[in-house]
């Protein structure tokens, strides 16, 4: 990459990092080209994109975007690094990353909160947003359904007695 291209790349990456609600840094060493293409395709389906970037350029863009210094540390920015930037639901693309064995999640920002690798692994293990909403709805409606069943039970017994046990 020429110097002018690097400057343009850093400016674009700075803009993307500044506007992103969530992003994750991954180490994609050992990921074959075919697996990398498959990962990019699945990430696109969730509204996320994967950008392979040199660590020095990422550090410059991160400093310009005023990203947390924990993310820009030399221990994190080592090896082969890619940035996964999510535009929609952050859990969706983190779950996709969790299903792939090779890209190791380094650190990330999810909804503005710093996440270490352990927290990202826990987020990847969570069920999808729709399933979580369904579980919440079931939990909220369960007491109401039990109350309705309890109130209907004496009425059914009364009808049974009035009908003479038929």
In angstroms, the CA 37 to CA 55 distance is: 21
Q: Walk across the sheet containing 48-53 and list its strands.
A: 48-53, 81-86, 22-27, 104-110, 113-115
Q: What is the pLDDT of residue 101?
A: 61
Q: What is the pLDDT of residue 102?
A: 58
Q: Residues 80, 93: contact at Cβ < 8 Å?
A: no
User: Which parts of the chain sit beneath pLDDT 70?
Assistant: 101-103, 165-166
66-86 per-residue burial string, b: 16 or more CB within 10 A, e: under 16: ebeeebbeeebbeeebbbbbb
| CATH architecture of the domain covering 3-126 | 2-Layer Sandwich (3.30)
């Amino acid at each position: 990459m020429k110097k002018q291209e690097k400057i343009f790349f850093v400016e674009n990456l700075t803009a993307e990092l500044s506007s992103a609600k969530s992003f994750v840094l991954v180490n994609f060493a050992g990921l074959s080209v075919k697996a990398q293409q498959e990962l990019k395709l699945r990430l696109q389906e969730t509204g996320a994109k994967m950008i392979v970037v040199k660590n020095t350029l990422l550090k410059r863009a991160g400093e310009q975007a005023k990203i947390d210094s924990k993310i820009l540390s030399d221990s994190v920015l080592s090896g082969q690094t890619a940035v996964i930037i999510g535009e929609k639901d952050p859990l969706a693309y983190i779950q996709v990353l969790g299903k792939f064995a090779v890209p190791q999640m380094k650190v990330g920002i999810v909804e503005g909160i710093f996440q270490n690798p352990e927290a990202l692994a826990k987020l990847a293990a969570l069920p999808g947003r729709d399933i979580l909403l369904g579980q919440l709805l079931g939990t909220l409606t369960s007491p109401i359904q039990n109350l309705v069943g309890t109130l209907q039970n004496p009425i059914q017994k009364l009808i049974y007695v009035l009908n003479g046990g038929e």
